[in-house]
Structure 1
């Protein structure tokens, strides 16, 4: 019985050493690249939904191991939408930018001129249209 236990312990030891060897080799030769997603949201008086939209995007990006960048084009909101966005700016892993429409004449012009980073995927969501919110993960309209 002792020789069998010795072989089992030896096998576990060799397997552990091999796992550490291949893992360190993989880290050395393959740089870690995360997918990047850029969400462009057009908002106007969305104080009741904005926090949920931003949290849903953050959770989804964490689950998918994606780097998240969110740009919000504000159409002159009169409620607490901007205050909610300001509080959410400091959430984990979220690069959040707010741009007022006074600064930009046309949203489509902004999308054409926004230069995406290498490998970045852009998604434009106009929250003024109720069906567009369904494009955000975990949000059902």
Structure 2
């Protein structure tokens, strides 16, 4: 009877270990992070909502993301709000000031083998690339 119980516990333990190993393999091999580039200009009213939405949806989908906020010389508090959020999540949020198209092309080329989503927040059609709209 003890041998039977030990074999049942052993089978359950082996099944649990296999599920965890396969999940870890799948996540590391097939789930590369998504890189979002948000181009902003005077979006203080919405930037916090956009960033929190991206972070929340990525957590719900168990998907790693990296968000770069490129500010095109905003005249409101857009940059300050984004920097405040970036302080609490330094590995997920990066703040850059707009340096022209060459800077954007260089950043995208750095991650060309991964998924990069470019969203200009002033263009309502491009907002559909933010996961909440999907």
Question: Which range, TM-score by smaller chain?
Answer: 0.7 to 0.9
- Aligned partner of 2:46 in structure 1 is 49
Deviation beyond 6 Å, 4+ runs, structure 1: none
Higher helix share goes to which structure?
A: 2
Cα deviation for residue 133 of structure 1 reads 1.7
The answer to which structure has the higher strand fraction is 1
Q: Cα–Cα, structure 1 residues 31 and 14, in superposed 2: closer, same or farther, change >3 Å?
A: same
Partner of 1:105: 100
> Given the two structures, how large is their TM-score scaled by the length of structure 2?
0.75
Gaps of 5+ in 1: none
Following TM superposition, by how much is the alpha carbon of 1:71 offset from its aligned partner in structure 2, in angstroms?
1.3
Bigger Rg, structure 1 or 2: 1
What are the superposed Cα offsets for residues 41-72 of structure 1, whole Å, 9 maximum, x if unpaired? 11011111101100111112212222211111
CA contact (8 A) 1:67 1:93 kept: no
The number of residues matched between the two structures is 129
